[in-house]
Chains A and B, each alone.
Chain A
Amino acid sequence: NAGVTQTPKFRVLKTGQSMTLLCAQDMNHEYMYWYRQDPGMGLRLIHYSVGEGTTAKGEVPDGYNVSRLKKQNFLLGLESAAPSQTSVYFCASSRSRGGRVNYGYTFGSGTRLTVV
């Protein structure tokens, strides 16, 4: 069972470069989310989607863009990477709004991004 798959797993970018992180889920979940994890900060929500074709801003959206053209995919883009965007990025999906069912969110294994 694949669940939530994130690609790539690791990436090093130079300041100013752009890249797209891909998240794919095979559980037919309506809701998808992008989080970043930084030491001492926990997981902070970047953007989320409540269904195909929709996106919304989370806590820390600046410097990121997202798209959800297909229900199973949620893309996170960095147009001009900055060292402050060095982090571990997690994608998650859920069947219910805000994860309000016993199984909460299903997370991918993360993308470790370093911006130099």
Chain B
Amino acid sequence: DQQVKQNSPSLSVQEGRISILNCDYTNSMFDYFLWYKKYPAEGPTFLISISSIKDKNEDGRFTVFLNKSAKHLSLHIVPSQPGDSAVYFCAAAGGNDMRFGAGTRLTVKP
């Protein structure tokens, strides 16, 4: 029973364009949401987060949007750069732990 779902296994965009990664969750008890970035042979690294009391959080080229009524969040990267190519995991925190989606592999083409 996956409580956090990333339905797109992969996404390919052109350098300079916007990348939009999507994530859905089912558990209404989640109150904190995060995005992690993972390169091959490395552990995931924290990218950006948002509390359930907000609907938007920006950090440079990265913006996370939260739609609580739809139980949906998205990560926007603009402009996309080749160095952004990685696997992106959506995560949701509830209670003492965090649940992760299956990840979306983003490829940014020069």
Measured CB to CB, the residues of A under 8 A from B are 4, 31, 33, 35, 40-45, 48, 50, 56, 58-59, 90, 92, 97-100, 102-110
List, in ascending order, chain B residues with CB within 8 A of A104's CB: 34, 36, 46, 49, 91, 98
A45–B101 contact, CB under 8 A? no
Number of residues from B at the complex interface, CB < 8 A: 28
Measured CB to CB, the residues of B under 8 A from A are 2, 4, 6, 9, 31-32, 34, 36, 41-46, 49, 89, 91, 93-103
Q: Could you write out 15 A-B pairs with CB less than 8 Å apart?
A: A4-B43, A40-B9, A42-B102, A42-B103, A43-B44, A44-B100, A50-B96, A92-B43, A98-B93, A98-B97, A99-B98, A100-B31, A104-B98, A105-B46, A106-B46
List, in ascending order, chain B residues with CB within 8 A of A4's CB: 43
Instruction: Please provide the 3 A-B residue pairs with the shortest distance between their CB atoms, ordered closest to farther.
Output: A107-B43, A42-B102, A43-B100
List, in ascending order, chain A residues with CB within 8 A of B97's CB: 33, 45, 48, 58, 98
B46–A48 contact, CB under 8 A? no
B43–A109 contact, CB under 8 A? yes
- Give the complex CA separation of A43 and B97 in angstroms: 12
A99 to chain B, nearest CB (A): 5
Tell which of A41, A42, A44 has the most Cβ of chain B within 10 Å.
Answer: A42
Cβ-neighbour of B96 out of A31, A102, A110 (below 8 A): A31
- Give the complex CA separation of A109 and B39 in angstroms: 10
- Give the complex CA separation of A85 and B15 in angstroms: 39
A105–B102 contact, CB under 8 A? no
